[in-house]
Amino acid sequence: MTLSTSNQERGFTLIELMVFLGLLAVVVLIATPSLNGLLERFKLDADARQLAWIYKQARQDAVIKGKPQTIFIYPASEEYRWYSDGKYRNYRASKGIDIASANYASYTPGGPPACSFTITGVPAHAGTTVLRNQNGDTRYVIVSAVIGRVRVSRTPPTNWTTDETY
């Protein structure tokens, strides 16, 4: 019995690898724009959830600490500030996320819109903050009057009018 051995090794040629890499590059180029849109939506959702969490936390602190809590919205600078215990906590929207509008009342004429919670957790100034990304996707962070429920929505509240925005 004789064993025959082959000196040929199995594998891919350089040309086959180059064709594969070329096809892979084409697929990546085609998929990149849709991935960017997906990443922008994730960023928008994360910012909306963060703002909603801050509203919820401010409401809870108002009840626990027995002191009103206020969040000031600054659409022009893409910032919001939580005023608590005599100091501000500053937050900024992610790059590419705009605070398009906020229809809360302001404390002073010409001042920034402000969402406030009383010591019972009821909003003194309820309303909606609109966040928008570069692709035009929109999220609404809604603070309901009377009970102070905070939620994030892809659609505006039922009583929404664009005349109320600042």
Q: What is the pLDDT of residue 165?
A: 41
What is the spatial distance between Cα 102 and Cα 95, in angstroms, rounded to a whole number?
19
**End-to-end alpha carbon distance in the chain:** 92
pLDDT > 90 in the chain, percent: 59
**Domain residue extents for the chain:** 39-164
Q: What is the pLDDT of residue 147?
A: 85
Structure tokens at 59: 């409401």
Q: Which residues contact 66 (CB under 8 A, 6 or more apart)?
A: 119
What is the spatial distance between Cα 3 and Cα 130, in angstroms, rounded to a whole number?
77
Q: What is the pLDDT of residue 112?
A: 93
Q: What is the pLDDT of residue 157?
A: 86
Structure tokens at 139: 């999220």
Q: Which of 47, 67, 41 is nearest to 135 (CA)?
A: 41
Q: What is the pLDDT of residue 126?
A: 82
- The radius of gyration of the chain's CA atoms, rounded to the nearest angstrom, is 26
Q: What is the mean pLDDT of the chain?
A: 87
pLDDT exceeds 50 at position 166: no
Q: What is the pLDDT of residue 86?
A: 86
Assess if CATH 3.55.40.10 describes domain 39-164: yes
pTM for the model: 0.76
